[in-house]
Amino acid sequence: MRIAMIGTGYVGLVSGVCFSEFGFDVTCVDIDADKIARLNAKEVPIYEPGLDALIERNLAAGRLAFTTAFDEAVAAADVVFVAVGTPSRRGDGEADLTYVYEAARQIARVMREGTVVVIKSTVVVGTCRKVAEILRAERPGVDFSVASNPEFLREGSAIEDFMRPDRVVVGAEDERAEATLRRLYQPLYLRETPILVSTLENAELTKYAANAFLALKITFINEIADLCEKVGADVQKVASGIGLDNRIGGKFLHAGPGYGGSCFPKDTSALAATGQRHGAPLRLVETTIAVNEARKRDMAERVLAALGPDPEGKSVGIFGIAFKPNTDDVRDAPSLVIVPALQARGVRVVLHDPEARAQAEPLLPGAEWRDNPYDVADGIDVLAVVTEWNLYRGLSLTQIAGRMQGNTVIDMRNIWREEDVARAGLVYRGIGKGAASKRSDPLQTVSN
């Protein structure tokens, strides 16, 4: 089976490469000639662990190709995936479907009889039916199928998520579309991966509902963290206590500076806008969005408070700029709110991130960068951990303390233990750590 993957952004590139690893012939298409040239030269435009090795292996095996030749790739394909961007539309938060609909028009020109067009982009309810209308209008009389196959890939672990997913969601309403998607995911049968087949609308909404629920879960534990600080509790112990309930689960219960990235911000906005448009407002989602944005500003205020009443002229070092570890993605990252807020008060800001500098540097003018994390500590008044890269967990706190001018560490990800920081002579300020919590015994899991 021959696949054409339209779009070599994060979703399209990872999905196309992984399908080729499954043994299918995949051609990834993009209008960006420079990106295609780099990919053919085995230069990966994003940081995703393990992706470079898969690209090299499948290029060598002849199962994977990168091209700008849209017509040729689509005309030869049995299945055409649309994996173009759906950014938030300015003004109303709706998903901008311009690229999806334009891809549909271009596909219609050259698709052959029996082509299955699969929407992998994150799209609002009703998009797949609109795509079918476009295909039908552009090529009347040509037989085709339309399916929805939303992605659930976490940046930093996308290959594992594709190869070992919790489930595969398919929206398909004819036998050919369903059979095609089942065949594409057949390599997962040995792992007994559930394949959920339903209507187009159900598949489209499942993606948004899943991301909104996870964003809500993050926001919930962040608000609990604020309460912990007021009442003398420890949010990590509370999260453990509720996470052991299998109705809740422990994932996404890690307090921090708020969510960011390419999915949660735009998907929650799009879902909230969809609810408003259909007269079914999603108040929990709307509140989640507002609380998360306020969370990022609050983190900046915490750093400013640590600098004292007159922060101008003082300096802050920041560990981690990407919105999460194991990616170079800085879209809607908390750091993009925190750093400018500090600079606006006259604070000198020194940054380190093991992968995100190239993406972030143009967005943070005036900030200083260091290649070595220890160098960030030189002469600074406050050190803040914003992204929990494993690299930072093993740093020598004594060495950091010896290079700082001040003595305050604001650990927004709770990667260090307070006693270890104190032993190095530093003052520790974590997230959700009430002053009285240190007097309490940690929750223990007891087995009989």
Half-sphere exposure (Cβ direction) of 367: Cα atoms closer than 13 Å? 30
Half-sphere exposure (Cβ direction) of 438: Cα atoms closer than 13 Å? 8
Q: What is the DSSP letter of 234?
A: B
The tokens of 112 are what? 């052959």
Half-sphere exposure (Cβ direction) of 18: Cα atoms closer than 13 Å? 23
The tokens of 442 are what? 């940690």
Contacts of residue 33, defined as CB under 8 A and 6 or more positions apart, other chains included, come to: 68
The whole-angstrom separation of Cα 74 and Cα 76 is 5
Count the Cβ atoms, other than its own, within 10 Å of residue 140.
8
Count the Cβ atoms, other than its own, within 10 Å of residue 76.
14
The whole-angstrom separation of Cα 297 and Cα 290 is 11
Residue indicated by tokens 């400013």 = 304
Strand partners, 169: 196
Which residue among 18, 128, 228, 263 is the active-site one? 263
DSSP string covering 222-286: HHHHHHHHHHT-BHHHHHHHHHTSTTT-STT----S---SSSHHHHHHHHHHHHHHTT---HHHH
DSSP string covering 19-85: HHHTT-EEEEE-S-HHHHHHHHTT--SS--TTHHHHHHHHHHHTSEEEES-HHHHHHT-SEEEE---
Torsion of CA 12, 16, 17, 18, to 10 degrees: 110
- Helical packing angle, 200-231 and 283-306, nearest 10°: 40
- Do the strands 144-148 and 115-119 form a parallel or antiparallel pair, or are they unpaired? parallel
Is the Cβ–Cβ distance between 117 and 135 less than 8 Å?
A: yes
The whole-angstrom separation of Cα 117 and Cα 181 is 11
The tokens of 275 are what? 């609810």
The whole-angstrom separation of Cα 234 and Cα 228 is 6
* Catalytic-residue membership of 18: no
Phi/psi for 170 (5° steps) reads -130, 130
Half-sphere exposure (Cβ direction) of 329: Cα atoms closer than 13 Å? 21
Residues with active-site annotation? 263
